[in-house]
A = this chain, B = another copy of it.
Amino acid sequence: MSKHHVVIVGAGFGGLAAARGLRRDDVRVTIIDKQNHHLFQPLLYQVATAGLSPAEIAAPIRTIVKDHGNTSVLLDEVCGVDVATRRVRLASGATVEYDSLILATGARHSYFGNDAWEAHAPGIKTLDDAVRVRRSILIAMERAETLRQENIGERMDFLTFVVIGGGPTGVEMAGAISELTRHAAEMDFRHITPKCLRIVLIEAGPRLLATFPEALGEAAQQSLEQLGVEVRLNSRVEQISAGSVTVSGNMLRAATIVWAAGVQASRAAAWLGVTGDRAGRVAVDPDMSVPGCPGVYAVGDTASIARADGRPVPGIAPAAKQQGGYVASVVAARIAGAAPPPPFRYRDHGNLATIGRKRAVADFGRVRLSGFPAWLLWSTSHIYFLVGFRSRVTVGLHWLWSYLTFERGARLITGLADMPDSIAVPQQRAA
């Protein structure tokens, strides 16, 4: 009889933790991902704001698992699961049989039913997304530089940057855009001064960082305002079109609009024929298995599970890692015929968000930090957690260098051919 075959879909934090947990067990493991690289998503906003290069926050999946003797990697896209015959269907036309299936497929941004907004307000979930936003920001500044006084309105549009969503991603993006553009205005451009810039952060709820304690949300808002970011709370986005966003009845013109307002789980629920929650996540049993789908588990942003106190487990990297490792132990116990491990329990190690290059907020339950001490903690912990990345040294050096010199090395506009729709290139009149 052939070995028990564990198929893991998705090589994010959850999927890789599951593969790692099984690397010494007597199983065959196949990781399927539509990208060839694992992505350190918490730093994606740094790529979008030209602080880091794509290769500094990504590593080939094959390299990460090369020492797992029982693991194969398949570059392909899953398009369905046949639960009855235990098969995964792939976009290439192939099918893969499984004994256990771990779905760790993550999330995409959600436009709450307004999918047409995506063309004008891209989100940031993949390297291609981040490079697209970086290009949009840098091109907007180039266009503004060449516009003269007679085009003052159009010029202002290029110098207005709107970020939608006041969670950690939106807060980090708004702070980083402010620093990138202000620094570029001071150093690189002749006709743009920091005073010309306008960065607006829009949040539908009454405060920033809703998942953090209230005091830290306020600290984040103060830090952002010191960086010149206009924070608009209780503001609901009603319409987005090319170069404009309508917020609570008022239209705001901006060439660059970034979406950080909501996420939607991948299509895993549809593959399994189960009903997902509001965010599309699959409700799982306490052992992370999917009810009614024998041998199928979901982890990370794909899964919906509550903590002991009823609050949901958050959709962050440490939670996905813990769940991936936990499912590995469940599968290993089942194969060995051993007693199943106790139900999954989320260990909360705290919550961090950064605001610009020397401020952050951190929540460790009783201990709460903000300002520079939180930033130091944030940067050291992120460098530390780039585990398995050859680039840990590079990122560390790069950040130290950036911090000391405030130069940004990744300020490249690539792929000019397919310019984002949100940038309408104006006619220029030069001397």
Contact = CB atoms under 8 A, between A and B. Distances in A.
Nearest to A132: B415
Interface string A187-219: 111100000000000000000000000000000
A95 B430 contact: yes
Contacts of A138: 36
Interface in A54-72: 54-56, 58-60, 62-63, 66, 72
A93 interface: yes
Nearest to A418: B418
Contact-residue bracket for chain A: 35 or more
A412 B63 contact: no
Contact of A416 (B34, B55, B59): B34
Interface stretch (A113-121, A352-360, A393-401): A393-401
Contact of A56 (B53, B66, B145): B53
Contacts of A429: 94
A238 interface: no
A94 B412 CA distance: 24
Given A36-B142, A131-B414, A428-B90, A63 B407 contact: yes
Interface in A72-108: 72-76, 90, 92-97
Contacts of A131: 414
A294 interface: no
Contacts of A416: 34-35, 128
Contacts of A394: 394, 397-398, 409
A378 B417 CA distance: 34
Q: Which of A76, A184, A417, A427 has the most CB of B within 10 A?
A: A76
Interface of A: 5, 34-37, 53-56, 58-60, 62-63, 66, 72-76, 90, 92-97, 127-128, 131, 138-139, 142-143, 145-146, 184, 187-190, 390-391, 393-394, 397-398, 401, 405, 407, 409-417, 425-431
